[in-house]
Structure 1
Amino acid sequence: MNIKQNKHVLIYGDAFVDYIANDSSNTEFTKFLGGATVNVAAGISRLGATASFITVTGEDETSEFVRNELAAEGVDLTYAKVIPEKRVSGVYVHLTSNNDRIFYKYVDETPNVQVEYFTLDKPAFQNASLFHFCSGTLFHPVALNTTKEIVGSLKELGTFLSFDANIRPLRWESEEICRATIISFFKDVNLLKLTEDELFFITSTETLEVGIEKLQYYSIPTVLITMGEEGAYIVMNEEIVHIPVVKVDPVDTTGAGDAFMAGILRQIHLYGTPTTIDLWKDYVSFGNKLGAICATKFGALSAMPRIEELN
């Protein structure tokens, strides 16, 4: 293994609480910890690597729930912030009479309470083997600036930078701002992960081939495009390789992409950055396996695979 002692995977993002209706009356709900970066952090920890999560919570009961859940997953919160007035964002999910889940509403009572770059402890950066972020917080000016500053600082240190677009259009003022903001990070990152639909959105195209061709303009060292049950594509140095996934009977694909990403980042943390497309094939096969395992279980964070499941 290439990893040095006391290093961690550093992740920045928002924690969410999913309020899932207990039945189709949609009057009582059960709380679940959620969010793409939360899932990835917990997924990495479940795979035996160290994940440090930069986020902000408050001093209310829901924030305490979030911190306790993350601690139970083994996620390091040394560099997370507690600001008393912060309220963790919530997503309410209703159930139909057919037990289908539908998004009902998104609640963010304190959107302006964000992590500010100047408050961050610099050892977080110095001890990072790599840094991972999503676009989920980039719509907010303070969070956007914090992300830019972290990326700039870590780029100077030569740290590996990973970006999962994870696009949620409803959080943005417009599609144009969303697209431009995400693209603005392409010049800095070492790894970009997209779904097929996100590739089409970013490149304003309708086919995989044309989308990949347009993406080449940004000279991103490695791009991973996930295709669900069709596996994933690796794009590196203008070479394109498809990696299939073992077929499973999915029961819930929520979080499968986060499990995939947790696997990729865990491998980079433990074994170093792949320098050839053949090495990337091994990493992506590992990520595919994790995504498939996740899809065989209900939930998102609760479905993140543990290291012992891989056998």
Structure 2
Amino acid sequence: MGQVLVVGGANVDVVAQSTGRFTPGTSNPGRTYSSAGGVGRNIAANLGRLGVPTTLITAFGDDTFGRRLRDETAAAAVDLTHAVELPMPSGSYLAMLDADGELVGAVSDMAAAESLRAEHVPEDVVAAAAYVVLDANLSAELLEHVCRAAAAHGVAVVIDPVSVPKADRVLKALHAGPVHTITPTRTELVALTGEDDLDKGVAALRDLGVGRVWVREGASGSTLFAPGSSTHVAAIPADVRNVTGAGDAMAAAYVHALVTGHDDVTAARHGAAAAYLTITSEHTVRPDLTPALIGNVLKEPHS
């Protein structure tokens, strides 16, 4: 099995969920809890749970949050040899959910991840990977640097744009070398391309050398635009408990399937199953996630 290198953000998630309908502009009764998070960190932890040899390059702060992030990530069998500790607070993400587990709003402080520089990502570590997974919590310059190094060594790159405000950081990277897959939402696709039309937006990314555009639409499922084909992958109906981390699990299961020899569409279906398993759990990264668990979900009939 090929190795995967993940370069991206790590932060502590602080989640507040209302017990009733969320009312903006006032205090809502509910509950709060925290967990290790960050797009890159979550993807790496999911990959580790799935048995993929995974290295994570991220920035931890020199604080209690940083120690927690390091310990919980290492517990998922992720190699942190090249992760760095910086003299600053660790990243944090505050999410507000309604009673149904859907996101009402969020604020992220990813200054630590944005402080990573090219010297923190050695070219030989990139060259040793079968896939590199990047998230847009990184600076545009670092994204470009890693994509250029991956292109020089023929390493496949998967990019998660993370959010609309951060999607424009990806544009420089798309000019640095071919990208295997990019995973935008519809709104992130518009931010990346300026195109409101789905097909035109996908075509614009394909013109920039992106091999596969996997457009994610939450409960409506996702559509994988691969060379010569497009496939809609339905979301599995779920009793949602918490949407946090679903997209990260989706990306991880997709990459796991690719490195174990599955085709693109099968890999996307593995991603949908992992997303289902995550949103039906209270955990951002399910501690019991395994390839067998994903396989069982795919075998079950879903209406």
Q: Which TM bucket (shorter chain)? A: 0.7 to 0.9
Structure 1 position 104, deviation (Å): 6.8
- Superposition pairs of residues 1-311 of structure 1, within 5 angstroms: 3=1, 7-20=2-15, 30-83=33-86, 85-93=87-95, 103=105, 106-107=108-109, 114-138=115-139, 144-169=140-165, 178-179=167-168, 181-187=169-175, 188=177, 189-271=179-261, 279-302=263-286, 305-310=289-294, 311=296
Does the aligned pair in 1 maintain the 2:59–2:112 contact within 8 Å? Answer: no
Unaligned ranges ≥5, structure 2? 19-26, 297-303
Count of residues in correspondence between the two structures: 285
TM-aligned CA distance change 1:30 to 1:297, over 3 Å: closer
Between the aligned residues of both structures, percent identity stands at 20
Normalised by the length of structure 2, the TM-score is: 0.80
Q: Relative to structure 2, which stretch is displaced further, 113-122 or 8-17?
A: 113-122
Unaligned ranges ≥5, structure 1? 139-143, 173-177
TM-aligned CA distance change 1:96 to 1:46, over 3 Å: closer
Normalised by the length of structure 1, the TM-score is: 0.78
- Residue 191 of structure 2 aligns to a residue in which SS? helix
Measure, in 2, the Cα distance between the counterparts of 1:119 and 1:206: 37
Kindly provide the amino acid, as one letter, of the partner of residue 244 in structure 1.
Answer: A
Structure 1 position 267, deviation (Å): 1.7
- Residue 194 of structure 1 aligns to a residue in which SS? coil
TM-aligned CA distance change 1:72 to 1:111, over 3 Å: closer
Cα RMSD (Å) of the superposition? 3.2
Q: Relative to structure 2, which stretch is displaced further, 72-81 or 221-230?
A: 221-230
Deviations 1:174-232 (A, max 9, x none): xxxx53x3222224212111112222332333343343344443242111112223322
Measure, in 1, the Cα distance between the counterparts of 2:210 and 2:142: 22
- Residue 289 of structure 1 aligns to a residue in which SS? helix
Does the aligned pair in 1 maintain the 2:147–2:157 contact within 8 Å? Answer: yes
Structure 1 position 80, deviation (Å): 0.8
Does the aligned pair in 2 maintain the 1:58–1:86 contact within 8 Å? Answer: yes
Does the aligned pair in 2 maintain the 1:163–1:193 contact within 8 Å? Answer: yes
TM-aligned CA distance change 1:8 to 1:112, over 3 Å: closer
Structure 1 position 82, deviation (Å): 2.2
